[in-house]
């Protein structure tokens, strides 16, 4: 039985490739275009899958290629595709709503399986429950549920649900979704005694038994959250890891170094591709730092206090300081290969993840995921002559002030979001304004948490995306003119402004 199962899995392996998932992502405009003949839309997926399968088998015939390609595989991808794709073909009627039962059922089963597993089942016992316990299925279920429920809820509520779910998964995911109990205990053991002030990569890497698989998502939250589950660090950590690679070692064909660099580079590529597809959507919908910040902001709103509207120089200043902090962090990370035994470079004590050391996330995320027990000690005065200590205090204060007083001023500073900001105007996601429908009221500029004025003032260019836009879609939600602001994904309309508050 197991033998058949394993053979089947081996043959199906190409379908678990992330590349196939990306190919389907690029076919999405065709699939979403309901004016195209239905038969074409239905057949294109199996046709693409078969073509891909053949290509993959051909390329994977060589062992190193197979190993590299294997790194990008995960059952998460086909699970998501199976759950989400069929919905693309359905109209939003009763059948569609029935369809929601499928991912809901998956989630329930996965949840039951997790509960079952935590009862201390000894490892390696195999069996059907392994399939269900896969966190990839859980995440796939959650994501598909969210995607499918999207047309049915109001934009505001939908976004709230997504943010809360994302927060839970990212901050507490590891606790709930560890593969099995032994895994979890092992991870706790590793984190109890960090080698230095800052945890190293192995201390937080989720280990999956079969092979070294690393799953990275862009802009993920801090690795310092007590257990970030299978989401490995944020993209600043990714850049730092790229910086940390020692060119000399790579030239010397050091296997470990080359692997690490290859991983990191692969992740960068994936990051760029996903940023192209989703622009700065992460910032507005997933980032747990912003969710926590917006919760703080909510306190201000409850108190009925007005918010500060930052002047243009302040906004520019935040952008430039964020860029400089990020650059400084990267520059210091470059010192990693040259650190001596004491962790010093040219007499200065430099941490291996310098950006992380000043980032407020490193202070806030552990508290969010473990409560007061997660409070980290501040970096000592000896790190770069006290720069880090002062900087991290300043960053935390800046974080609190900008979220408490000024909605999302922090996001103008945050270097994590900047890489996807570039795709706000050129990527697959587009915010479009039909200017002749605009009534010039300026509500869009008023509600924008990033204080962007372009959406209000631009009357000629239909593309009103901005580098700073976090795609929170508050402007689309509030605009009182039907069809004035439209959010498009690769040319297909996702949502548009509509009177009476339901921007669907």
Encoding tokens for residue 41? 């839309």
Residue 293, C-beta contacts closer than 8 angstroms, at least 6 positions apart: 399, 402, 403, 408, 410
Least CB distance from residue 312 to another protein, whole Å? 11
- For another protein, the binding residue among 438, 455, 464, 473 (CB under 8 A) is 438
- For another protein, the binding residue among 4, 125, 127, 500 (CB under 8 A) is 500
Phi-psi domain of 413 (left: phi exceeds 0; alpha: psi -120 through 50; beta: other): alpha
Encoding tokens for residue 426? 């050129």
Least CB distance from residue 301 to another protein, whole Å? 6
Q: Choose the stretch contacting another protein; rule: CB under 8 A; options: 38-46, 61-69, 133-141, 474-482.
A: 474-482
Closest CB to another protein among 243 and 469?
469
**Contact call for residue 499 and another protein (CB under 8 A):** yes
User: Could you give the CA distance from residue 180 to residue 171 in angstroms, rounded to a whole number?
Assistant: 18
- For another protein, the binding residue among 36, 116, 437, 493 (CB under 8 A) is 437
Closest CB to another protein among 1 and 460?
460
**Contact call for residue 433 and another protein (CB under 8 A):** no
DSSP labels, 433-483? E-GGG-----HHHHH-TT---HHHH--S-SB---TT-----HHHHH--STT
User: Could you give the CA distance from residue 36 to residue 156 in angstroms, rounded to a whole number?
Assistant: 31
Q: Choose the stretch contacting another protein; rule: CB under 8 A; options: 183-191, 268-276, 411-419, 449-457.
A: 449-457
Q: Containing H/E element for 247?
A: helix 247-251
Residue 90: what are its φ and ψ, rounded to 5°?
Answer: -90, 150
**Contact call for residue 305 and another protein (CB under 8 A):** yes
- For another protein, the binding residue among 306, 347, 372, 377 (CB under 8 A) is 306
User: Could you give the CA distance from residue 500 to residue 14 in angstroms, rounded to a whole number?
Assistant: 47
Q: Choose the stretch contacting another protein; rule: CB under 8 A; options: 26-34, 274-282, 300-308, 487-495.
A: 300-308
**Contact call for residue 108 and another protein (CB under 8 A):** no
User: What is the chain's percent helix, strand, coil content, to nearest 5?
Assistant: 65, 5, 30
**Contact call for residue 436 and another protein (CB under 8 A):** yes
**Contact call for residue 55 and another protein (CB under 8 A):** no
Least CB distance from residue 442 to another protein, whole Å? 3
Antiparallel, parallel or unpaired: β 485-489 and 492-496? antiparallel
**Contact call for residue 493 and another protein (CB under 8 A):** no
- For another protein, the binding residue among 457, 461, 491, 502 (CB under 8 A) is 457
- For another protein, the binding residue among 388, 478, 490, 496 (CB under 8 A) is 478
Interaxial angle between packed helices 135-149 and 76-89, expressed in degrees from 0 to 180 and rounded to the nearest 10: 20
Closest CB to another protein among 210 and 500?
500
CA angle 353, 376, 361 (to 5 degrees): 55
Closest CB to another protein among 38 and 436?
436
**Contact call for residue 330 and another protein (CB under 8 A):** no
**Contact call for residue 404 and another protein (CB under 8 A):** no
Q: How many residues touch another protein (CB under 8 A)?
A: 28
Closest CB to another protein among 212 and 453?
453
Q: How many CB atoms lie within 10 A of CB 210?
A: 6
**Contact call for residue 371 and another protein (CB under 8 A):** no
Place of tokens 């006290």: 386
Least CB distance from residue 155 to another protein, whole Å? 13
**Contact call for residue 446 and another protein (CB under 8 A):** yes
Judged by DSSP in three states, 498 sits in coil
DSSP labels, 135-168? HHHHHHHHHHHHHHHGGGS-HHHHHHHHHHHHHH
Q: Choose the stretch contacting another protein; rule: CB under 8 A; options: 237-245, 276-284, 318-326, 434-442.
A: 434-442
CA angle 9, 13, 17 (to 5 degrees): 145
Sign of the Cα pseudo-torsion (181, 186, 192, 198, in order)? negative
Encoding tokens for residue 97? 């709503």
**Contact call for residue 178 and another protein (CB under 8 A):** no
Closest CB to another protein among 186 and 482?
482
**Contact call for residue 301 and another protein (CB under 8 A):** yes
- For another protein, the binding residue among 442, 462, 493, 502 (CB under 8 A) is 442
Site residues (CB under 8 A) for another protein? 301, 304-307, 435-443, 445-447, 453, 456-457, 459, 474, 478-481, 499-500
């Amino acid at each position: 039985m197991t033998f058949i199962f394993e053979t089947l899995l081996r043959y199906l392996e190409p379908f678990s490739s992330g590349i196939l998932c990306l190919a389907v992502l690029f076919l999405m405009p065709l699939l979403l275009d309901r004016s195209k003949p239905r038969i074409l839309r239905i057949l294109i997926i199996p046709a693409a899958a078969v073509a891909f399968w053949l290509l993959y088998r051909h390329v994977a015939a060589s062992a190193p290629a197979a190993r590299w390609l294997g790194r990008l595989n995960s059952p998460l991808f086909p699970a998501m595709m199976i759950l989400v794709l069929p919905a693309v073909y359905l109209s939003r009627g009763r059948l569609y709503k029935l369809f929601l039962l499928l991912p809901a059922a998956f989630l329930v089963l996965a949840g039951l399986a997790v509960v079952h597993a935590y009862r201390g089942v000894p490892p390696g016992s195999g069996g059907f429950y392994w399939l269900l316990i896969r966190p990839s299925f859980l995440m796939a279920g959650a994501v598909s549920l969210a995607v499918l429920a999207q047309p049915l809820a109001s934009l505001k509520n939908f976004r709230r649900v997504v943010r809360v779910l994302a927060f839970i998964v990212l901050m507490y995911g590891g606790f709930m979704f560890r593969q099995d109990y032994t895994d979890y205990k092992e991870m706790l053991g590793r984190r109890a005694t960090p080698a230095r002030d800052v945890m190293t990569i192995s201390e937080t890497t989720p280990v999956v038994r079969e092979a070294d698989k690393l799953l990275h998502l862009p802009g993920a939250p801090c690795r310092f959250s007590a257990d970030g589950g299978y989401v490995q660090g944020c993209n600043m950590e990714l850049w730092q890891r790229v910086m940390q690679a020692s060119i000399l070692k790579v030239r010397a064909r050091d296997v470990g170094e080359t692997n690490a660099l290859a991983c990191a580079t692969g992740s960068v590529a994936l990051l760029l591709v996903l940023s192209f597809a989703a622009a700065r959507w992460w910032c507005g919908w997933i980032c747990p730092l912003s969710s926590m910040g917006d919760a703080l902001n909510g306190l201000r709103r409850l108190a009925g206090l007005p918010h500060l509207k930052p002047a243009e120089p302040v906004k520019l200043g935040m952008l430039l300081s964020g860029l400089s902090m990020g650059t400084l962090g990267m520059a210091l990370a470059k010192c990693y290969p040259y650190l001596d035994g004491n962790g010093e470079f040219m007499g200065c004590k430099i941490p291996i993840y310098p950006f992380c050391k000043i980032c407020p996330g490193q202070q806030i995320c552990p508290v969010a995921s473990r409560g007061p027990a997660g409070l980290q000690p501040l970096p000592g005065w000896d790190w770069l002559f006290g720069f880090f200590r002062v900087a991290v205090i300043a960053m935390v204060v800046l974080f609190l002030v900008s979220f408490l007083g000024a909605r999302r001023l922090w996001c103008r500073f945050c270097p994590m979001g900047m890489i996807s900001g570039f795709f706000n105007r050129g990527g697959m996601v587009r915010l479009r304004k039909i200017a002749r429908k605009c009534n010039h009221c300026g509500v869009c500029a008023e509600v924008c948490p990033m204080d962007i004025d372009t959406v209000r003032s631009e009357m000629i260019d239909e593309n009103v995306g901005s580098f700073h836009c976090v795609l929170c879609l508050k402007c689309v939600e509030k605009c009182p003119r039907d069809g004035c602001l439209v959010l498009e994904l690769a040319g297909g309309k996702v949502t548009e402004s509509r009177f009476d508050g339901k921007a669907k």
